[in-house]
Amino acid sequence: MKEESIEILVSNDDGFRAQGIRELTEALRPLGNVTVVAPDGPRSGASAAITSTLPIKLKLRHREEGVTIYSCTGTPADCVKLALNTIFKERKPDLLVTGVNHGNNAGICVIYSGTVGAAMEGCVSDVPSLAVSLDDHSEICDMSHATAYAARVSRMILQNGLPHDTMLSMNVPQGKPLGLRVCMVTDGRFVDEFMTSEDARGNAVYWMTGRQINKGTVEGDLELMRAGYVTLSPIKLNMTSRRYLPELERLINEGI
């Protein structure tokens, strides 16, 4: 089954030692050669952040037949950017898969997630990219369904490609999924966002917490994942609101 000519780049935001990326790597091995370039430690919530004022480094961690693992001192997006500019300078990978993230990235998490941010960076460079997230924050959890669906969708991407500047984001529920559903990203937001506490000197400190709600009218990835489905949503890199362009132009032309 293994196609020697297929090259797959793998990254994440939980760091190269996380269970999610280790099991994802094993699941993708039958599809091609896997190169992991992932942060040297946790970078949850890193979004598409990049490191522009400090130098970053790559470190070879492991090499065996079909799998090579590097750690990087930068953000998830840095990892992908640097991999594409060094290891894959001569030939782009055929596929980028990020994750499996420990925690879902449904709804508004798309903009906060380092796992999605890393996949966006692949998309910037026209590498077909998939972000995979499991709705379980535990460091040790059952990744088997997430990695099976990730491999299945990876095969589809390798066969069919993806449209220009479009990536996929997959969210996997806990337990055995009811099936795979293509859907919108939920218009979500977090509420009860901070827990207030004190530091050792009595100063107020704020810990991020909260839960996501759907603030729109469309049932999207958040609801379907919570209902037990694996969700798959296409994400467009260009965030321009084409719908509002003419109205904004009219307002500006009226001489605000």
Pairing of strands 95-102, 129-134: parallel
Type of residue found at 76? P
Pair of tokens at residue 141: 């959890």
DSSP, res 64: E
Q: Does 95 bind its own copies (CB under 8 A)?
A: no
Which of 2, 139, 144, 194 binds its own copies (CB under 8 A)? It is: 194
Which run of H or of E encompasses 223?
helix 221-226
Nearest-angstrom CA–CA distance, 26 and 151: 10
- Judged on CB neighbours under 10 Å (0-12, 13-18, 19+), 28 is buried
Reported residue count of the chain is 256
Q: Does 35 bind its own copies (CB under 8 A)?
A: no
Q: Does 178 bind its own copies (CB under 8 A)?
A: no
Q: 214 a known binding residue?
A: no
Q: 11 a known binding residue?
A: no
Q: Does 79 bind its own copies (CB under 8 A)?
A: no
In angstroms, give the least distance from the CB of 65 to its own copies.
Answer: 25
Which of 10, 31, 82, 222 binds its own copies (CB under 8 A)? It is: 82
Which residue stretch of 23-31, 32-40, 60-68, 162-170 sits at the interface with its own copies (rule: CB under 8 A)?
A: 162-170
- Tell me which residue of 91, 107, 110 sits closest to 9, measured CA to CA: 91
Q: Does 58 bind its own copies (CB under 8 A)?
A: yes
In angstroms, give the least distance from the CB of 178 to its own copies.
Answer: 14
Q: Does 208 bind its own copies (CB under 8 A)?
A: yes
Nearest-angstrom CA–CA distance, 256 and 250: 10
Q: Does 53 bind its own copies (CB under 8 A)?
A: yes
Q: 85 a known binding residue?
A: no
Helix spans in 70-207 (H):
76-85, 109-112, 114-124, 144-160
In angstroms, give the least distance from the CB of 179 to its own copies.
Answer: 10
Q: Does 1 bind its own copies (CB under 8 A)?
A: no
Which residue stretch of 43-51, 91-99, 128-136, 139-147 sits at the interface with its own copies (rule: CB under 8 A)?
A: 43-51
Residues 127-146 that bind its own copies (CB under 8 A): none
